[in-house]
Amino acid sequence: MESQIDPQKLYDAILGLSGWFRAHAFSAAFAAQLVATGLAFVLAYGMARPARAVLEHASVRWLQDRRFDRARQWSSQLLVPAIWLIVQSFTAHLAGELDQPNELLRIVASLLAAWVVIRMSSNLVRDPFWSRTVAVIVWGVAALNVLHLLEPTAKFLDSLAFSFGATRISAYVVLKGLALTGVLLWMAFAASAALRRRIEQLPSLTPSVQVLVSQTLKFALVTLAIMAALGSVGIDLTAFALFSGAVGVGVGFGLQKVVSNLISGIILLLDRSIKPGDVIEVAGTFGWVNSLGARYASVVTRDGTEHLIPNELLITQAVVNWTYSNSLVRQRVAIGVSYESDIDLATELIVAAARETERVLDEPPPQCYIVGFGDSAVDFELRYWIGDPQAGVSNIADGVLRKVWHKFRQHGVKIPYPQRDLHLITPHVIAVNTQPSS
């Protein structure tokens, strides 16, 4: 690895910058322009508060739509630099008309104009942190261009380089690649989100196919963005052949579970055995599938807990899909009746209680059968159907049993307590010799 950093060029650049500063920073014209710039900022800061009040009043009166909330917010934030730009530009124009030095005034005005335009454009990025970060980076490049330092800075960063075989990597290439990668990735994510929303509006596609298509498009767009960024900075993609081989070995040893979950997710999306909205039971978890991802499936239980089930478990373990082909589910409820009660009346009451319970379907109709004669009761089993298991199954059994209890009490049908018959056998009297032996 060979370094290409030239210390002499770095020293000459620092020396030239310090010479320019000594020549201009301590002159009277420079000091006057600096004071005028400071007064312009103070004036802009003082005028911002009444201007903000007027803007808020106008926005409340004319812009009632909530879609304009974001525009009102960033316009309020740009009041100080916008007013400062107006005052600074007027001051620079006035100094020029009076044949006074105005180079610093014009430079500050240009920097302010670039900041206002860039800040307005960066508000297209919704995340506040990234919006401000993009604005600062782009403004830094614009400032170097205004100061005629962009080309010397690019040459200096390009001189900070080292060679690795036939590949030359410099600080300029790295920064350019990072900036371009960020822009392309943002465009890829924005495009994938727009395509996903459009795909979700297609009624001809099932939810699982929609997820598969959107995830595939997202992966393709991100991959294309990274490859385009690497190719644009002059990096030969064939140089990654060795790296890809190392990654393949790593996948074979350390990333087996990750790849297994990824492939399992693709299989689930293709065969549509589990799709968003299904009610499933796996590994002791009962709930409905909220979403399917590349690595896991989100299952929301009745208590609101969200379980992230790895896709591999949904392939390798037995899964109960309550809504695979349809949403009809049959439930069984055990009921005991006393031997002294009328079993035909008990059967009618049990079926009537099921029919009167909300969410129990009339077709197929509820059925009640005697399944055995227990130690203490006649054992009945009630079987009924529901069509919305995602709303819960235990609450249905609770409602049915409560109605059965009330009907049994009204008609004198008894539910027995456990009974046991004990037969006590009196033991034989055993004679005991109490006389001492001789």
Q: CATH number for the domain including 297? A: 2.30.30.60
Predicted local confidence at residue 2, as pLDDT: 45
Average pLDDT over residues 164-173: 66
Buried b (16+ CB within 10 A) or exposed e, 285-297: ebbbbeebebebb
Judge if 6 and 88 occupy the same domain: yes
Predicted local confidence at residue 406, as pLDDT: 92
Predicted local confidence at residue 147, as pLDDT: 66
CA dihedral 254, 256, 258, 263 (to 10 degrees): 160
Judge if 176 and 55 occupy the same domain: no
Q: Is residue 438 part of a domain?
A: no
Judge if 22 and 128 occupy the same domain: yes
Residue 51 is part of which domain span? 2-165
Judge if 349 and 391 occupy the same domain: yes
Judge if 139 and 19 occupy the same domain: yes
Judge if 18 and 155 occupy the same domain: yes
* CATH code assigned at 362: 3.30.70.100
Judge if 23 and 153 occupy the same domain: yes
Judge if 142 and 177 occupy the same domain: no
Q: Is residue 261 part of a domain?
A: no
Output the furthest CA–CA distance in the chain (Å, rounded). 152
Instruction: Of 129, 138, 268, 296, give the one whose Cα is nearest residue 212.
Output: 268
In whole numbers, what is the pLDDT of the chain averaged over residues?
A: 75
Distance CA 248, CA 308 (A): 27
pLDDT of 72-127, one tens digit each?
565 666 777 777 778 878 888 887 777 777 777 777 777 777 777 766 666 666 66
Predicted local confidence at residue 124, as pLDDT: 62
The pTM score is 0.42
- Count the domains in the chain: 4
Does 363 have pLDDT greater than 70?
yes
Q: Is residue 335 part of a domain?
A: yes
Chain centroid to Cα 292, Å, comes to 12
Chain centroid to Cα 146, Å, comes to 40
Judge if 202 and 150 occupy the same domain: no
Vertex 255, ends 249 and 256: CA angle to 5°? Answer: 100
Q: Is residue 428 part of a domain?
A: no
Average pLDDT over residues 296-320: 85
Distance CA 207, CA 121 (A): 36
Judge if 148 and 176 occupy the same domain: no
The more confident residue out of 345 and 228 is 345
Q: Is residue 243 part of a domain?
A: no
C-alpha separations of 303 from 85, 245, 322, 354 in Å: 57, 46, 18, 25
Q: Is residue 35 part of a domain?
A: yes
Domain limit, last residue, from 220, 235, 250: 235
Q: Residue 401: pLDDT band by 50, 70, 90 thresholds?
A: very high
Q: Report residue 181 as tokens.
A: 């990668």
| DSSP helix/strand/coil, 202 | coil
Residue 362 carries which side chain, given as an amino acid letter? D
